[in-house]
Amino acid sequence: MTRHPLAFVILGAALSAAAGLLMLRMFGDGAVGTGWALDATARVSFAFWLLTFIARPLNAVSRSDFSKALVAWRRQFGIAFASAHIVHAWFIVQIAALVPADFPPARFVPGGIVYLVILMMFATSFNRTAKAMPGRSWQYLHRSGQWLIALVFLNSSLQGIFNPDHNRLTHVVLAALILAGVGLRAYVWQRQRNRRQAA
């Protein structure tokens, strides 16, 4: 399988669009079907993001062939996440047009900031742009961006758990996966810190 970034731009967008269009086909193109499409595209994005979030800490713990492969493909998965989430944004715009009362302009401000960070991460996920960033700015951007996205997904999952109109079990599983990833990262960070102090 090719590692060319463009292939993963297409892959992420295609899988997300297919999931969204399938929901529209099943539930119609009204508010209900668009809501399902919104959820489906978010799940595709989440899957790609989670792989990038756990790749390095998992490899630090297990050193398995699977974890090594995750690290090797992490940048490509991140690119696929960004393109999938851009499709998700399109469905946000669609449902906002269908139920504008639920989407006042102020609601787009925090989401817009998150998308700006995602686009910055996407733009700097290619060799030429990554090398053009000074010092450790690339690391700061991508590390802080990962945690920001984790907070957004966790907040969305927690809202889903306490919303009777949503499938609570699905959101419990999503929240558990995020917290497990956070716990794994915290464990690896603490272990590395202890080793540095002991050296």
Residues 93-97, mean pLDDT to the nearest whole number: 95
| pLDDT classification of 2: cutoffs 50, 70, 90 | low
pLDDT in tens, 6-31: 899 999 999 999 999 999 999 999 99
Instruction: Share the mean pLDDT of the chain.
Output: 93
Select from 59, 38, 45, 52 the least CA-distant residue to 15: 45
Give the pTM. 0.93
| Domains of the chain by residue range | 5-198
**Quick check: 120 pLDDT over 90?**
yes
**Quick check: 1 pLDDT over 60?**
no
Residues 86-99, mean pLDDT to the nearest whole number: 96
Chain-centre distance for alpha carbon 115? 11
Cα–Cα distance, 65 to 75 (Å, whole number):
17
Phi, psi of 49, rounded to the nearest 5 degrees: -65, -45
